[in-house]
C-alpha cells in the first residue's frame, strides 16, 4: 500500500489518503466500461486529473457490475464541454457535464467540489476537498484508470470489506445538509450487505422528518430509483423499520400501519418481490408504469377500489392511484400505463379515449388528501445531493 501525503496549514507533511495498487484491489482497466475509459483518458491527455468515483468503484470491489459510471475531474464544466462535443452542461445548483454515447448512454462528469462552497454553489476545489464532501466512506473512493490505483481518504476500502456503512460527514449535520442521504444509507446497506451502525441508525430515526423538506420532484425520482433497483422489497422494508417510509408514501404507510396491516403487508411486499425478480430479468419491460402496477396493485384490491369488477371505472382507478401516491409526482402517462396493466390482468375493457383526470389528483397534488386523508405534505426546495 502507498500513502498520499499533503501539507497542513502549518506546512507540515500529513498523511491524506491510502493508495491501493492493482495487486491489492484487483480492479484492472479491462474490467471498466469502455466509454468511461475514453472519458478519463481524454481528460488526462488534455492535462487534467480524472477518476472513476462513487458507486462504480464500490460495486467493482464487491464483484458487481456497475450500472453507472461517474467521473470526477479538476477540469471546469466549460473545459469538459470543450473537450467533448457529445456533451452538455446541466444543473444550476451545481453544474455537471453529461457526456452522451449511443444507446442513450450517459456518463456524468463532475468537477471537484470545494469545502468553501455550500450546496448549490459552483465553487470548485481539489480532490482532497472533494473527498470530504462525499456522503459515505464506501462512495469516497477515487479510481485512476491509468495507474490502476484506488485513492482512499476515509478507509472506505476497509469499510467495504468489513461490510460497514459509515458517514464521511458528522452525523450532527450530514442529514440536515441533505436529507436524501438517509435514503441512500438504506439503499447502500441493502445493496452491499453493509450493516448500519447504531449511531447511524439513531441519527436516521432522529432526522427522518427532514425528508419533508425535500422537493416533491426529487423525492419522486428517489422512489422510482428504489423501484427500479431490483431490491425494492428489502429497501422499503428497511425504510419502514427506520421510520422513513411514512415520509415517502404516507398513503401506503397508512395501510401498513392500519388494522389490516399484517395482511396488507404480506401481499404488498410479495408484489415488490415480484417486481424485483422482474427488474433483474434482462430483456423485460422496465417502464415506470409497470413499476407502479406492482407498487399499487395490493392497495387497489385491499381498499375496494376494484370491487365493481368489470364495471370498475378506468378514470376513477387512475385518480385513486394518483391519490395514494401523493405527494409523489407520477406522470399521468405512467399512472395510466400502470392501471392498464391491472385492467388487462383482470380481462377488463380499457377505454380508447384518453381519460380526463380530476384536478385535485393531477401531478401528485399538493395539499390534503380528500379520500385517503394521507396528509400529503408540501415539500420545500431541497439542497443538491452528493454526486
135 is catalytic: yes
116-122: Cβ within 8 A, 24+ apart: 118/383, 119/93, 119/94, 119/177, 119/178, 119/383, 119/384, 120/92, 120/93, 120/94, 120/383, 120/384, 121/93, 121/94, 122/94, 122/95
Q: Could you identify the residue written with the cell 450532527?
A: 172
State the pairing for strand pair 50-53/141-144: antiparallel
Residue among 35, 41, 68, 155 flagged as catalytic: 68
Q: Which of 59, 70, 271, 337 is catalytic?
A: 70
For residue 74 the three cell numbers come to: 479538476
Catalytic residue among 59, 74, 130, 135: 135
**Which cell is 338 given?**
400502470
- For residue 13, the SS3 value is strand
The yes-or-no answer on residue 74 being catalytic is no
Judge whether 130 counts as a catalytic residue: no
Cα separations in angstroms, 98 against 50, 59, 78, 111, 167: 15, 21, 12, 12, 27
Q: Which three cell numbers stand for residue 152?
A: 482512499
**Residues in Cβ contact with 38 at an 8 Å cutoff, skipping those fewer than 6 apart:** none
Query: How many whole angstroms separate alpha carbon 367 and alpha carbon 216?
Result: 12
Catalytic site residues? 68, 70, 135
Amino acid at each position: 500500500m502507498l500513502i498520499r501525503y499533503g501539507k497542513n496549514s502549518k506546512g507540515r507533511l500529513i498523511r491524506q489518503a491510502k493508495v491501493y495498487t492493482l495487486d491489492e484491489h484487483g480492479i484492472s482497466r479491462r474490467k471498466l466500461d469502455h466509454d468511461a475509459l475514453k472519458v478519463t483518458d481524454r481528460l488526462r491527455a488534455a492535462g487534467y486529473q480524472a477518476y472513476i468515483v462513487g458507486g462504480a468503484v464500490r460495486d467493482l470491489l464487491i464483484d458487481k457490475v456497475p450500472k453507472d459510471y461517474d467521473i470526477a475531474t479538476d477540469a471546469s464544466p466549460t473545459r469538459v464541454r470543450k473537450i467533448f462535443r457529445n456533451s452538455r452542461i446541466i444543473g444550476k445548483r451545481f453544474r455537471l457535464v453529461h457526456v452522451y454515447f449511443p444507446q442513450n448512454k450517459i456518463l456524468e462528469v463532475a468537477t471537484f467540489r470545494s469545502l468553501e462552497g455550500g450546496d448549490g454553489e459552483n465553487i470548485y476545489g481539489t480532490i482532497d476537498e472533494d473527498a470530504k464532501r462525499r456522503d459515505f466512506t464506501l462512495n469516497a473512493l477515487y479510481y485512476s484508470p491509468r495507474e490502476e490505483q484506488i485513492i482512499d481518504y476515509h478507509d472506505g476500502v476497509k469499510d467495504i470489506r468489513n461490510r460497514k456503512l459509515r458517514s464521511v460527514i458528522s452525523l450532527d449535520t450530514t442529514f440536515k445538509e441533505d436529507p436524501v442521504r438517509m435514503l441512500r444509507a438504506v439503499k447502500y446497506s441493502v445493496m452491499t450487505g453493509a450493516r448500519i451502525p447504531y449511531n447511524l441508525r439513531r441519527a436516521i430515526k432522529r432526522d427522518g422528518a427532514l425528508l419533508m423538506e425535500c422537493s416533491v420532484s426529487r423525492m419522486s425520482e428517489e422512489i422510482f430509483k428504489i423501484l427500479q433497483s431490483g431490491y425494492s422489497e428489502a429497501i422499503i422494508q428497511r425504510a419502514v423499520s427506520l421510520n422513513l417510509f411514512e415520509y415517502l408514501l404516507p398513503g401506503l404507510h397508512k395501510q401498513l400501519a392500519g388494522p389490516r396491516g399484517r395482511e396488507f403487508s404480506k401481499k404488498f411486499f410479495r408484489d415488490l418481490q415480484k417486481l424485483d425478480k422482474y427488474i433483474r430479468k434482462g430483456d423485460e419491460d422496465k417502464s415506470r408504469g409497470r413499476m407502479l402496477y406492482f407498487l399499487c396493485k395490493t392497495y387497489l384490491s385491499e381498499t375496494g377500489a376494484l370491487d365493481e369488477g368489470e364495471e370498475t371505472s378506468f378514470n376513477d382507478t387512475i385518480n385513486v392511484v394518483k391519490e395514494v401516491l401523493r405527494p409523489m409526482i407520477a406522470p399521468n402517462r405512467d399512472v395510466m400505463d400502470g392501471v392498464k396493466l391491472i385492467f388487462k390482468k383482470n380481462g377488463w375493457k380499457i377505454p380508447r379515449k384518453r381519460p380526463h383526470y380530476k384536478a385535485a389528483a393531477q401531478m401528485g397534488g399538493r395539499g390534503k388528501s380528500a379520500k385517503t386523508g394521507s396528509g400529503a405534505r408540501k415539500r420545500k426546495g431541497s439542497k443538491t445531493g452528493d454526486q
